[in-house]
């Protein structure tokens, strides 16, 4: 997990949160009801919306609400989140159930896990931690990211 944390530019104080973010439902079901990452995915989605809304609002002062919403939706979509997950090699750490290895690299599964990782960073280190993860993973393109980490 250390190499993943290095890629994400954030080291969790509670490593259990990161492990939970990387626990697919199929794995949890085979572990007799252990928790899975879907609640963290929900949180991560909302946190990413906030981080990006704040960033885009400040970065593009002349863009109207429609333009800001369209730009944000391009940055927080399955394709963009999947690309970010691949960039940090998230599939290597994702826990899936036996017989479910084929889902490990599925775009939707990786996108959901990436949101869960952001949610876990938020739970561990609040908004600055989540922003660092979003920046380091490429969810926020580097040319858009200077103000986010301030």
**CA–CA dist 130, 137 (Å, integer):** 11
**CA–CA dist 140, 22 (Å, integer):** 21
Task: Tokens for 11, please give them.
Answer: 């080291």
Which residues on neighbouring strands pair with residue 23, listed in sequence order?
A: 95
Of 19, 64, 100, 115, the active-site residue reads: 115
DSSP assigned state of 34: -
**CA–CA dist 115, 78 (Å, integer):** 10
Of 19, 38, 45, 100, the active-site residue reads: 45
DSSP assigned state of 6: H
Say whether 115 is catalytic: yes
Say whether 143 is catalytic: no
**CA–CA dist 56, 69 (Å, integer):** 9
Distance of CA 9 to the CA centre of its chain: 13
* Positions marked catalytic: 45, 115
């Amino acid at each position: 997990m250390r190499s993943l944390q290095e890629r994400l530019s954030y080291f969790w104080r509670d490593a259990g949160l990161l492990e939970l973010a990387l626990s697919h439902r199929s794995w949890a079901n085979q572990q007799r009801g252990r928790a899975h990452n879907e609640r963290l995915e929900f949180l991560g989605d909302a946190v990413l919306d906030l981080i990006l809304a704040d960033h885009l609002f400040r970065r593009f002062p002349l863009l109207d609400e429609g333009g800001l919403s369209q730009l944000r939706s391009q940055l927080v979509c399955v394709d963009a989140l999947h690309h970010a997950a691949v960039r940090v090699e998230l599939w290597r750490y994702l826990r899936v159930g036996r017989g479910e290895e084929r889902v490990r690299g599925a775009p939707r599964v990786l996108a959901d896990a990436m949101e869960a990782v952001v949610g876990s960073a938020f739970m561990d280190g609040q908004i600055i931690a989540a922003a660092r993860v979003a920046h380091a993973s490429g969810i926020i393109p580097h040319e858009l990211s200077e103000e986010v980490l301030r």
